[in-house]
């Protein structure tokens, strides 16, 4: 789960970590009030779940980027007006861009140095790695590709946590001295503590700045949480911004199955298991079609889950054919078939062709259930054949 910059900074404040003062607003008049209270100059920052905002441009206003300095309250108000409700396109949003629903007004800083600090779980070593670089404000992936020696790394022993000596190695490696070094070290240790307590999966402070007055501050903050640990953080749902998510995906998550919409595709897929679901999308593409979604009904799918999954598929106007590919193991094929039949009752007539391939546990029983229902469908024996048929029928339906 991703959160906005202003939410990440709110959490950092709870841990008494150094961030500039700021306020989030949703209308231009409040932006003016906030700017007055915080004092000018201030920075107006578009809040979207994607990086590269400063270099990004608004579709409606190609001169305007997503992070702008305002010298006066009026300028802050004007900038907020030009950003709110408009679509910001950055290197990370894709061409469609993202609509800005909130802007963050923050006290401007006199910056002496821009640094980078990141924490992430290194899968190769199965440890948290803390990364620091003198190349703040840049895309860290570009730094890693061109000058990897400029990224300092410390891997954390999970038994001990991040040690002060490790923070020292990073801080002094960045060339910080005296009070600045002390502040940066305690910020680093504090951020690590927050990372653990909040079950984060990624934290990036880019840039981490040293001000001309010698203060060390997190000027930006990107924070992702581990969804698996959500049960330990009951208040987290309130941080979720549904406008950042695809409405069909939000619906799917309510029903408890995994769904990712792929825009522009025409073959809807319902599969059990994430790997098989991805492979089903791949084989559709291989046969010249385009998958409309990833949908994994999961290992514990009951007929209610299947019913809702089926509804989400046929509700998608882009879907011209539906491919159901179930390899029964724990999930029994007859159960899946029952779910589809129940779904049918609520949907009524299905307008698109349905191709079914059932294998494994109770596959025959499943097909029998489907045959005795009102569902018109095509049966496929193997994986390749199923995909081929689905692609053909989707093309016919689209024409």
Partner 1 sequence: MAILFDKDSKVAVQNITGHVGTFNTQRMLDYGTKVVAGVVPGKGGMVHLGLPVFDTVEEAARRRGANTSLIFVPAPFAADSIMEAADAGMKLIVCITEGIPTLDMVRAYDFVKKRGSTLIGPNSPGIISPGIGKAGIMPTEIHKPGKIGVISRSGTLTYEGVFQLTTSGLGQTTAIGLGGDPIIGTRHVDALRLFNDDKATKGVVMIGEIGGTDEEVAARFIEEEMKKPVVAFIAGRTAPKGKRMGHAGAIIAGSHGTALEKMEVLRSAGAHIVESPAEIGSTMKKALRKK
Question: Which residues are the active-site residues?
Answer: 116, 204
Per-residue binding letters, 193-212, with partner 1 (x by CB under 8 A): ---x--x-x-----------
Of 3, 83, 270, 281, the residue at the interface with partner 1 (CB under 8 A) is 281
Largest CA distance in the chain: 79
Please give the distance of CA 269 from its chain centroid, rounded to a whole number. Answer: 22
CB atoms within 10 A of CB 237: 9
382 binds partner 1 (CB under 8 A): yes
8 A C-beta contact, residue 87 and residue 99: yes
Nearer to partner 1, 255 or 383 (CB): 383
> Which residues are within 8 A (CB) of 111 and not within 5 positions of it... i.e. 6 or more apart?
207, 209, 210, 211, 212, 219
Tracing tokens 């949907």 back to the chain, one arrives at 347
Q: How far is the CB of 39 from partner 1 (least distance, A)?
A: 37
8 A C-beta contact, residue 14 and residue 236: no
172 binds partner 1 (CB under 8 A): no
Q: How far is the CB of 56 from partner 1 (least distance, A)?
A: 16
69 binds partner 1 (CB under 8 A): no
Give the footprint of partner 1 on residues 126-145 (CB under 8 A).
126-128, 141
User: Which of these ranges, 5-13, 108-116, 274-282, 311-319, lies near partner 1 under the rule CB under 8 A?
Assistant: 274-282
124 binds partner 1 (CB under 8 A): yes
DSSP symbols for 36-101 = HHH-SSEEEEE--SSS-TTT-EESS-TT--SEEEESSHHHHHHHHHHHTTSEEE-TTT-TT-EE--
Nearer to partner 1, 40 or 279 (CB): 279
Of 33, 99, 108, 121, the residue at the interface with partner 1 (CB under 8 A) is 121
267 binds partner 1 (CB under 8 A): no
Nearer to partner 1, 210 or 292 (CB): 292
* HSE-up of residue 220 (Cα within 13 Å, Cβ side): 27
Q: Which of 166, 84, 96 shows the shortest CA–CA distance to 131?
A: 166
Q: How far is the CB of 396 from partner 1 (least distance, A)?
A: 21
Please confirm whether the linkage preceding 156 is cis (ω < 30° from 0).
no
The CA distance from 2 to 223, in Å, is: 6
User: Which of these ranges, 60-68, 173-181, 326-334, 389-397, lies near partner 1 under the rule CB under 8 A?
Assistant: 326-334
Residue count, binding to partner 1 (CB under 8 A):
54
Q: How far is the CB of 263 from partner 1 (least distance, A)?
A: 9
258 binds partner 1 (CB under 8 A): yes
Q: How far is the CB of 257 from partner 1 (least distance, A)?
A: 9
80 binds partner 1 (CB under 8 A): no
> Which residues are within 8 A (CB) of 397 and not within 5 positions of it... i.e. 6 or more apart?
266, 320, 321, 352, 353
Structure tokens at 254: 């309510």
8 A C-beta contact, residue 126 and residue 211: no
Q: Which H or E run includes 333? A: helix 333-347
Nearer to partner 1, 296 or 334 (CB): 296
Binding site for partner 1 (CB under 8 A): 92, 121, 123-124, 126-128, 141, 157-159, 196, 199, 201, 226-229, 231-232, 258, 260, 262, 271-279, 281-286, 291, 294, 296, 298-299, 327-330, 359-361, 382-384, 387
């Amino acid at each position: 789960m991703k959160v906005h910059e202003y939410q990440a900074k709110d959490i950092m404040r709870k841990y008494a970590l150094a961030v500039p003062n700021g306020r989030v607003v949703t209308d231009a008049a409040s932006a003016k009030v906030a700017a007055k209270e915080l004092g000018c100059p201030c920075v107006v920052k578009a809040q979207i779940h994607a990086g590269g905002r400063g270099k990004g441009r608004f579709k409606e206003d190609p001169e305007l980027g997503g992070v702008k300095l305002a010298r006066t309250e009026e300028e802050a108000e004007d900038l907020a007006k030009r950003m709110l409700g408009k679509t910001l396109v950055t290197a990370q949003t894709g061409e469609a861009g993202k609509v800005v629903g909130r802007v963050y007004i923050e006290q401007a800083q006199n910056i002496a140095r821009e640094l980078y600090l990141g924490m992430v779980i290194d899968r190769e070593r199965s440890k948290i790695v803390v990364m620091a670089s003198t190349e703040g404000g840049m895309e860290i992936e570009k730094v890693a590709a061109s000058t990897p020696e400029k990224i300092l790394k410390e891997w954390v022993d999970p038994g001990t946590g991040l040690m002060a000596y490790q923070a020292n190695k990073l801080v002094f490696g960045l060339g910080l001295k005296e009070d600045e070094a002390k502040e940066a070290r305690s910020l680093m240790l504090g951020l690590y503590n927050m990372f653990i307590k909040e079950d984060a999966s990624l934290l990036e402070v880019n840039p981490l700045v040293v001000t001309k007055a010698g203060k060390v501050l997190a000027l930006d903050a990107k924070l992702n949480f581990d969804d698996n640990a959500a049960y330990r953080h009951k208040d987290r749902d309130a941080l979720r911004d549904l406008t950042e998510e695809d409405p069909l995906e939000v619906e799917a998550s309510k029903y408890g199955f995994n769904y990712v919409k792929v825009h522009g595709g025409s073959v809807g897929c319902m599969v059990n298991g994430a790997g098989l679901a991805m492979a089903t999308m791949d084989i559709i593409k291989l046969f010249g079609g385009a998958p409309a979604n990833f949908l994994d009904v999961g290992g514990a799918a009951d007929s209610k889950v299947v019913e809702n999954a089926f509804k989400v598929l046929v509700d998608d106007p882009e879907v011209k054919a539906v491919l159901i590919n179930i390899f029964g193991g724990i999930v029994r094929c007859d159960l899946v078939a029952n779910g589809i039949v129940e779904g049918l009752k609520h949907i009524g007539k299905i307008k698109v062709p349905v191709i079914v391939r059932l294998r494994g546990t109770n596959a025959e029983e499943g097909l029998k259930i489907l045959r005795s229902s009102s569902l018109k469908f095509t049966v496929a024996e193997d994986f390749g054949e199923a995909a081929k048929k689905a692609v053909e029928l989707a093309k016919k339906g689209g024409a």
